Amino acid sequence: MRTALFPGTFDPITLGHTDIIDRSMDLFDKIIIGIGVNAGKQPMFPLEQRINWIQNIYKDQPKIEVKTYTGLTVNFCEEIEAQTIIRGLRTVSDFEYEKAIADMNQMLNPQIETIFLACSAKYSSFSSTMVRDVIRNQGDSSLFLPMEIKQQVSLIQQTMFQ
């Protein structure tokens, strides 16, 4: 079975993320969306909320699973028996950063390959960080979010500023 890991914080999951996931489904038998938990980061959205959002978006896709992990991504790959790490690229600077991580992962475990998928052009100009800034500043974040979570994020956004 060809299993891949798509790691990230998904805080929140954006149309850029779903673009990469959707386009990866034909390449693998199973894709595990791995939400990395980093004690040094304070996410905007609780872990359970992010898990629920992704599960809701992909509820009709049996190839997709959502799991959380801490520690090294290559160690998590070993745990879930993933042979491939999927990484999305928006810009040239993304490539430089992601290539360095891929090189390190290759050194740590030569059995795990990283593949890079370029984000579709319409999603290449924004990131989760930018979407969080839009949310914090009461902008229209629905332009960047999957349909399944737009309303929930909007409600959360409204309660943040009351």
24 tagged catalytic: no
Give the CA-trace dihedral at 140, 141, 144, 145, to 10 degrees. -130
pLDDT digits (tens, 9 = 90+) for 39-54: 778 899 999 999 999 9
17 tagged catalytic: yes
30 tagged catalytic: no
Average pLDDT value for residue range 61-68: 98
pLDDT tier, 145 (very low <50, low <70, confident <90, very high otherwise): very high
162, HSE (Cβ side, Cα atoms, 13 Å):
6
Phi, psi of 117, deg, nearest 5: -115, 130
59 tagged catalytic: no
Give pLDDT, residue 161: 66
Domains of the chain: 3-160 (3.40.50.620)
Select from 1, 27, 3 the least CA-distant residue to 84: 3
Q: Which of 50, 87, 90, 141 is catalytic?
A: 90
Phi, psi of 50, deg, nearest 5: -65, -40
